[in-house]
Amino acid sequence: MKRDFQLPDIIRSIGEDMKTIWISDVLNGKFDGQNIELKGWVKRSRGSNKIRFLVLRDSTGAIQCVGKKDTLGEDAFEQLKSALIESSIIINGMVNPDERADGGYELVIQSVEIIGPVNPKTPFPITESAMAAADGGETEFLLDNRHLYLRTSRMTTMLKIRSSVFGAIHSYFRNQDFIEYQAPNFVAGAVEGGSTLFEVPYFPTEKNPERKAYLTQSWQLYAEAAMPALERLYTIAPSFRAEKSRTRRHLTEFWHAEMEVAWANNQEIMSYGEGVVRKIATTLLEERSAELESLDRDLETIARYADSKFPRIRYDEAVETLQGMGVEIEWGQDLDYSKEKVLTQDFDVPHFLTHYPKIAKPFYHRVDPDDENYVLCHDLLAPEGYGEIIGGGERTWSEEEILARIDEEGTPREPYQFYIDTRTYGGVPHGGFGLGVDRVCSWLTGADHIREVIPFPRDSRRITP
């Protein structure tokens, strides 16, 4: 097709024949007064039998387009009128700066082509009133129509922020020479206790006609096997937990950023945790300020997370604080969400809780040589009542101790033989942590529920769409 304008440099092309102009570039004033072609979907459409106002959206923004019957002619005007919400269309028109229009621009339509029409008998179900009923949250209706809900500006915004969070984690670790490393998702044993294991039937054998595999709860144990090879490793991968209770911060399939480092102690591992969280906050300020503001998130708050040191307090101190607040808690209990919520309500920045009681944590946590009732571990608790976003610490690294800890828990040794071997052959002090990426997204966006930040949330009730 012949074009009557020079393609400016800033046009990011998808192949030679498919030059695409992004709406955000138009709104940034790069095409003032030019005739251009825009591709996108109809966000809104209204008007009379003489003039139509159509809001066109693409992945970068939305622009009002105006078409008059006088200039377009009868047929083209009818085409324009028939472009229902979420039809995909290509519009040619002239870019007209106009202060009255949302975003300060209007496209004066010269021609329109409907690519993917929407049938008037089955209009797009996610209407403005359905969105208003959800009031910024998510109704069952919106969850049932998740595949279509993804196109709304709220969900698009969440997905862009999420992408920046993933990017920040990768660059944080890669900039420090960490190696990205993958572990299997089908495993033979638990990492984080048996109660949240998902069982999968797995090819019966003669010896084991009822053979089962489990979906992994964490990359950690297989990362420890590669620790003597790579020394600094990380991943971002899904983890699975059969969480029966439905809370605002639990998914059955979540994205887990995990790291493992050789020769590091609990304090050093916490510094990495603080580093990655601050890097995420910094990246969001650089890349996603507009999106955060559109969610009414206060940028000063995010800047405080980016710029502060995170205090480190012991579990015992936290329990005393909670008891002082009148919360019923016994020493030795892990902190559940209700307790973390109370504790973190008044935090101004994330806090590390260290030295949990041994009885509250799985076998791989290293016992504190100074007091065998505690383990050298940490949880990072996010403020604003949000609670745990990171769990990590030093690992039990001698062969003798790991065998004792496995036996103490009454866990069979057999599925962990590979893990024990890591200690048998040149074990060294080491440790790492896991960060719940969806939890971090939900905390930093201020979402009410973890479901809001993942495209297709999975919980105990829902595996569709």
Residues that bind ligand 4AD (CB under 6 A): 191-192, 217-218, 220, 241, 243, 250-251, 254, 256, 258, 388-392, 432-436, 438-439
The three-state DSSP-derived secondary structure of 137-184 is CCCHHHHHCHHHHCCCHHHHHHHHHHHHHHHHHHHHHHHCCCEECCCC
Which of 256, 297 has the CB closer to ligand 4AD?
A: 256
- Which CB, 69 or 351, lies closer to ligand 4AD? 351
How far apart are the C-alpha atoms of 361 and 382, rounded to whole Å?
20
Nearer CB in complex with ligand 4AD: 67/432: 432
Cα distance from N-terminal residue to C-terminal residue, the chain: 39
Closest separation in Å from C-beta 84 to ligand 4AD: 38
What track of x and - describes contact with Mg ion for positions 120 through 149 (by CB under 5 A)? Answer: ------------------------------
Task: Report the 10 Å Cβ neighbour count for 400.
Answer: 10
Q: CB under 5 to 8 A by kind: which of Mg ion, ligand 4AD, none does 423 bind?
A: none
Q: Which is nearer to Mg ion, 77 or 352 (CB)?
A: 352
- Give the nearer residue to ligand 4AD in terms of CB position, either 51 or 242: 242
Q: Which is nearer to Mg ion, 47 or 193 (CB)?
A: 193
Contact region with Mg ion (CB under 5 A), list: 157-165, 276-284, 304-312, 384-392: 384-392
Cross-strand pairs, 41: 57, 88
Q: Quick check: 391 binds Mg ion (CB under 5 A)? A: yes
We find the least distance from the C-beta atom of residue 208 to ligand 4AD, in angstroms, to be 26
432 binds Mg ion (CB under 5 A): no
Query: By C-beta, is 138 or 438 nearer to ligand 4AD?
Result: 438
Q: Is the dihedral of CA 169, 174, 176, 180 positive or negative?
A: positive
Minimum CB separation of residue 164 from Mg ion in Å reads 25
In the bound state, the residue with its beta carbon closest to Mg ion is 391
Which of Mg ion, ligand 4AD, none lies near 243, with the C-beta cut-off 5 to 8 A by kind?
A: ligand 4AD
Among left, alpha and beta (phi > 0; psi -120 to 50; other), residue 239 is beta
Rounded to a whole number of angstroms, the minimum distance from the CB of residue 388 to Mg ion is 6
Q: What residues are paired with 179 via a beta bridge?
A: 233
- 361, interface contact from ligand 4AD, Mg ion, none, CB < 5-8 Å by kind: none
DSSP-assigned states of every residue in 344-361: HTT-SS-EEEE--BGGGS
CB of 391 to Mg ion, least distance (A): 3
Q: Spell out the SS3 assignment of 203-255.
A: CCCCCCCCCEEEECCCCHHHHHHHHHHHCEEEEEEEEECCCCCCCCCCCCEEE
Which listed option, Mg ion, ligand 4AD, none, makes contact with residue 392 (CB within 5 to 8 Å by class)? ligand 4AD
CB of 241 to ligand 4AD, least distance (A): 4
Give me the least distance between CB of 22 and ligand 4AD, in Å please.
34
* Structure-token pair, residue 436: 């719940």
Among Mg ion, ligand 4AD, none, residue 152 binds (CB under 5-8 Å by kind):
none
What letter represents residue 147's amino acid?
H
CB of 255 to ligand 4AD, least distance (A): 8
Q: How far apart are CA 378 and CA 359, in angstroms?
A: 14
**Residue 350 contacts Mg ion per CB under 5 A:** no
Long-range contacts of 419-426 (CB under 8 A, 24+ apart): 419/221, 419/224, 419/225, 421/225, 422/224, 422/225, 422/227, 422/228, 423/397, 423/398, 423/399, 424/399, 425/228, 426/228
Closest separation in Å from C-beta 436 to ligand 4AD: 2
Q: Toward ligand 4AD, which CB reaches closer, 258 or 452?
A: 258
**Cβ proximity to Mg ion, 112 vs 329, nearer residue:** 329
Token representation of residue 150: 């993804």
Total of residues contacting Mg ion (CB under 5 A):
1
Least distance (Å) between residue 392 CB and ligand 4AD:
4
Closest by CA to 435, choosing from 274, 299, 196, 317, is 274
Q: 73-82: long-range contacts (C-beta < 8 A, 24 or more apart)?
A: 76/111, 76/112, 77/52, 79/112, 79/113, 79/114, 80/52, 80/54, 80/109, 80/112, 81/45, 81/47, 81/52, 82/114, 82/117
Nearer to Mg ion, 193 or 275 (CB): 193
Residues forming the site for Mg ion (CB under 5 A) = 391
